Amino acid sequence: MTDTLATIRCRNSSNRRLTDYPITCAVPMPKGKLLSAGRLAASLPRGRVVPVQAQVTEKWSDGSVKWLVLDFEMPFAANPNAGDMSNVSEVRLIKSARTPATRSVSARADADAMEATTPHYRVVVNRRKFSIFDAYVVNGKNMVLPGSDIVVEDLNGKKYYASLAKRLDSKVLLNGPRRSVLEVSGRHTAEDGSEMLSFRVRYVIRAGDPCCQLSYKFTNREEPETGVKLAGIRVVIPTALDGPVTRHVRQSVHGETWFPRPLEVHENVELIAGKAVNESARARYGSVAEGKIVIRNFSSLREDLSAYPYYLRPGNARTDMSGGLRQMYPYLGASASNGSVLGWFSEMENHFPKAVGMDRNVFWFDIWPASFGELHVRRGQSCEHDLYMNLASKSRRFEQIESLYLDHEVMGFGILSCGAPPVSVTLDPDYVRSCEVLNLHRWLRYDEDKYLRIETKLGSVGPTAAGPKGMWDYGDYISPDRSWAHNNENDSILQLMQEYFRRAEPTCLTAAVAKARHNAHVDFIVYDPHPLRQGTMPAHCPEHTDGATYPSHMWVDGLMAVYHATGEPDLLEAAIAVGENMRRWQLHKKTFFADSRECGWPMLAYLCLYEHTRDRKWLRYTQEVFEFYRTHMTDKGEILYDIPHGMGTSKQGYGEFITWRACFFYHELTGLKAVKDFLVKSLRRVYHFPAKNAQMPGGWGCNDMFPAWALYKLTGERKVLEDNIPFVRAIMEKPANFPWGGIDMHPYLAELDKLGMLESIVKS
C-alpha cells in the first residue's frame, strides 16, 4: 500500500454536484520526511488517483520540504445540508511511481506573445502592445475583437491607456500542468505620453476551470506626496459576439414570494456594487450593508409595481435595505447566435465599489465606477482585483451560463451574505502539529469538550470574518468614525493562520488571506523617496498609508505564513521589503532602539526571513539586537528608556514581552549558549505573575505567560509553571475574554495540559 504523506479534507458546502473542481491548498511536511516534490499524486475517496502539481514555498534547514502548495482537481457530490459538517471528502497525498495522465495546462512564451492552453480555451497575450486578450480561442474560434484595454480617467477627463504603455514587462510566472500564471505589467499612458499609475495583470489558468481568472493591480508610483485623485478605472473587452445580444441576469428577489428569478435583457446592462442602499440599512448593519449588487436601470427588470403590496415596493425602507427589487446576483452573462460570454468580480460585494456591464458586444469591468465619485490613491499604495471571464463559441442557455458562476461562488441568504467559494479545504490539526510549523506543536490542542471555557475566553470558538467591506478596507478593521485602524495589530494574520490549522476552521484561512493581501497592497508603501517609509506599512491609519511608520508595527511572520499557503509572490516580496526597511531603521540607531518593542518585532522578522532565505545577514542583524538587550538589561529584568524619548526626565521599561519571545526563538534557531544564559538569568526575575495582577486592565505585560513557559523549557523546572497557577485561576474567573495578549498564553496552557494540570484548573 502506498504511504500517505498527508490527508486533505475537502468539503462542498453547496447543494450542487461539482464535476472537476480545482483545489489549491497548502500542506506542511515534518522535517526530513519529503526530500523532493516530484511524482506526487492525490488519491481521491473512491480510489481514483489524479496528478498533483506541487510548488515548494519553503524548505527545512536540511533541505527537505517544509511547505507545499498543491493543485489538483476532484469531483464533489451535492451537499443537501450545508450545515452538515461531517460531509467531508478525504484526499490522500501520496508518492506515485507513475503519475497518471490527464488533461492539463500548457504555457509558453516567445518574443512576441505568451500563450496558455487548456482543454477549454487558449489565450494569447501580446508582449509588445498591451491588450487584455490578443486572442481567446474556443473550438478554433477567436471570441474577442481587437481593442481590449484598461482605461484610467482623471478628474479632468484625461484618459490613460494600458495599450499605450511605452514598455511592457511580461513573463510566465508559473508554468505547471494543473495551474499556470502569466503576468504582464507596465504604465497606463495618455496619448501625449504622460503616465498615471503602474499596472499589472495576471492570468490564472487552471486545467479544470473553463473560466480564466484575471488579477489586475494598480500601483501609485507618482510623486505627489498626498497621492493622486482619479475619476475611474475600467477594463474593456470587446467580444466577437455578432448580431442581437441577449443579456442574462438573475434578480435576487421578485414577486410576493420574494424568490430570485432569471431574466433576459435586450439592452445594455450595468450591475453596480456600491454604498448602502439607504440610511436605514447603514444605521442598522453598518458596513455590512454596503456592496449590495443592484441593476442600474430598474426599468430593465420590467416589474409591474401595481402587482406588489405596498411593503414590497421600492421606497419602503426595510424592503430596500438589501437593494429590494433592484438587487441582483453578481454576474453578467450574454448570448448571441455565434457565441456567449460570462463575467464577474470575485467577492464583488466585499470589494465595492465595482460594476460589470455590457453594451452591444463590449463587456466591461469597472474597478472603480466613475459614478462613485473620486478615487484617491495615496503614494506607494496598490490594490489588486480578481475577476473571471468565460467565452464560448456557441450560444448557451441561461442555465448553462449561470452554472459556471455557481461552480465558483455560492450566494448566501439575507443582507449579511455575499459570494463565497463552494469548497473549503482543511487538514487534520494533529498532523499539522506533528510537522512543528507555526509553533502549533506548542499551542493548546483544540478540544471544545474539554476546554470550551478556555476557548471561549481566547475568542476562538466559531467562524471569523475578514473585516469591513470595501475596496480599501476589506481585510482591515476601521473604526466607525474612521479615526483609527487596527492595521493587523500584533500580527493578527499569523494568529489567523495558526487558528486555521489548529481548529481546521476554513473561515480563518479566508480572513488571513484577505488580511495578508490587504497588508501587502493597500497598507503597503511600495514607493516613497524617504528610506524609512519605502517598503513598509504605517500603523493605525484609517486611510491606510497616511501616517507614520515604525518597526514595532510591521509584521513578517503572518505574510510569510500566507505565502506558504498560497505561493503568492507579492506576500514574499512585501515581507522581505519590510525586513530591509527594519534594517534601515536599525542603522538609524537612536530611533530603532527607542524601546524593546521597537527592536523586538524586527528581531522576530529577521529570524523568519533567515529561515526562509538562509541568508546569514538576517542572523547578523538579530545578533546586534541581542547585544543591545544583553548590555542594557537591568538586574530587575527591565530595559529602561527615556520617557518621553530623548528627554531623560524619567526612565521606564516598555515592550519586554517581545524581548523574551525574540530571544527564545533566536536561541532555539542557533543554540547559542550566551542567549540561553541571558534568558535564564533575566526570566528568573520576570516570570512570576502574582494573582493580584489579574485585576489589572490586562495586556501583554500581565497575561501572556511566555516568560514562565520559556524558563520552564530552558531549565525543566516545573516550579516556574506552578508558581503562576494562582494567576491563571484568577484570570479564568474574570468576565469576558482574556485581555489583549491572551492568545500568547497558548504555550503555557499547552504545557499545563501535557502535565495533566490544566483540566483541574479550569474546573476549579
Of the pLDDT bands very low, low, confident and very high (cuts 50, 70, 90), residue 621 is very high
In this predicted structure, the answer to whether residue 545 has a pLDDT above a threshold of 70 is: yes
In this predicted structure, the answer to whether residue 419 has a pLDDT above a threshold of 60 is: yes
CATH numbers and ranges of domains, the chain: 4-95 (2.60.40)
**Residue 21: is it exposed, middle or buried by C-beta count within 10 angstroms (0-12/13-18/19+)?**
buried
pLDDT digits over 566-586, tens only? 999 999 999 999 999 999 999
For the chain, what percent of residues have pLDDT higher than 90? 75
Place of cell 489567523: 496
In DSSP notation, 210-227 reads: SSEEEEEEEE---S-TT-
Which residues face 377 on adjacent strands? 228
Residue type, 580: E
pLDDT digits over 237-258, tens only? 999 999 899 999 999 999 999 9
CA distances from 704 to 496, 698, 707 (A): 18, 10, 8
In this predicted structure, the answer to whether residue 175 has a pLDDT above a threshold of 60 is: yes
For the chain, what percent of residues have pLDDT higher than 70? 96
Is the separation of the CB atoms in 149 and 161 below 8 Å?
Answer: yes
In this predicted structure, the answer to whether residue 115 has a pLDDT above a threshold of 50 is: yes
469 by DSSP, 3-state: which? coil
In this predicted structure, the answer to whether residue 45 has a pLDDT above a threshold of 50 is: yes
Of the pLDDT bands very low, low, confident and very high (cuts 50, 70, 90), residue 1 is very low
Taking alpha carbons only, the member of 548, 541, 555 closest to residue 479 is 541
Is the separation of the CB atoms in 313 and 320 below 8 Å?
Answer: no
More confident residue, 283 or 529: 529
Instruction: Choose the weakest-confidence range: 393-407, 481-495, 718-732.
Output: 481-495
pLDDT digits over 139-155, tens only? 999 999 999 999 999 99
CA distances from 415 to 275, 355, 409 (A): 13, 19, 17
**Residue 472: is it exposed, middle or buried by C-beta count within 10 angstroms (0-12/13-18/19+)?**
buried
Q: What distance in Å separates the CA atoms of residue 85 and residue 447, rounded to the nearest whole number?
A: 16
Q: What distance in Å separates the CA atoms of residue 761 and residue 763, rounded to the nearest whole number?
A: 6
Is the separation of the CB atoms in 197 and 152 below 8 Å?
Answer: yes
Of the pLDDT bands very low, low, confident and very high (cuts 50, 70, 90), residue 83 is low
- Helices 656-670 and 673-686 meet at what angle, rounded to 10? 150
Taking alpha carbons only, the member of 281, 315, 251 closest to residue 415 is 281
Q: What is the DSSP letter of 46?
A: T
Residue type, 142: N
